């Protein structure tokens, strides 16, 4: 079963993410993919475009990461819908190696400021679950 069928974010979470994107000073445009409601493409002031996958998985482990990447190989950022969601160190390290950032929303806002966004790691003792 795909992530979008198991655990899609709530309607309010989509609205919150879109508000964050629209107010971010490094994002110049946002496109919400109509064929997959969990996929966005953002264009940054650096001129690059990043495909974003939005999920409400409670914990993104390596298998979840690999599943998302298999279904969406173009993804550059995976964002979790809730700040109390987490990811494993193994998933995070695979993402960094693949140049894919895995973040909670609060982390993503900092990462988007960086040209090498996938390397962004916020020091937070509650990150991993």
What are the pLDDT digits (tens) for 38-68? 999 999 999 999 999 999 999 999 999 999 9
Give the pLDDT score at 7: 79
**pLDDT, tens only, 105-115:** 999 999 999 99
Residue 97 near residue 90, CB atoms below 8 Å? no
Structure tokens at 125: 């003792």
pLDDT given at position 66: 98
Q: 14: burial class by Cβ within 10 Å (0-12, 13-18, 19+)?
A: middle
Under 8 Å CB-to-CB from 83, ≥6 apart: which residues?
A: 104, 105, 106
User: Residue 6 has what pLDDT?
Assistant: 67
> Domains of the chain: which residue ranges?
3-77+89-110
The model's pTM is 0.89
Are residues 53 and 77 in contact, defined by beta-carbon separation less than 8 angstroms? yes
For residue 89, what pLDDT band results from cuts at 50, 70 and 90?
A: very high
């Amino acid at each position: 079963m795909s992530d979008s069928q198991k655990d899609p974010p709530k309607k309010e979470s989509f609205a919150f993410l879109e508000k964050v994107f629209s107010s971010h000073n490094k994002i110049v445009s946002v496109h919400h993919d109509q064929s997959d409601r969990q996929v966005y493409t953002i264009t940054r002031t650096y001129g690059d475009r990043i495909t974003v996958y939005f999920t409400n998985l409670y914990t993104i482990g390596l298998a979840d990461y690999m599943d998302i990447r298999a279904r969406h190989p173009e993804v550059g950022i995976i964002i979790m819908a809730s700040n109390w969601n987490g990811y494993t160190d193994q998933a995070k390290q695979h993402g960094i190696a693949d140049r894919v950032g895995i973040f909670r929303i609060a982390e993503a806002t900092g990462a988007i400021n960086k040209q090498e966004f996938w390397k962004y790691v916020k020091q937070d003792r509650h990150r991993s679950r």
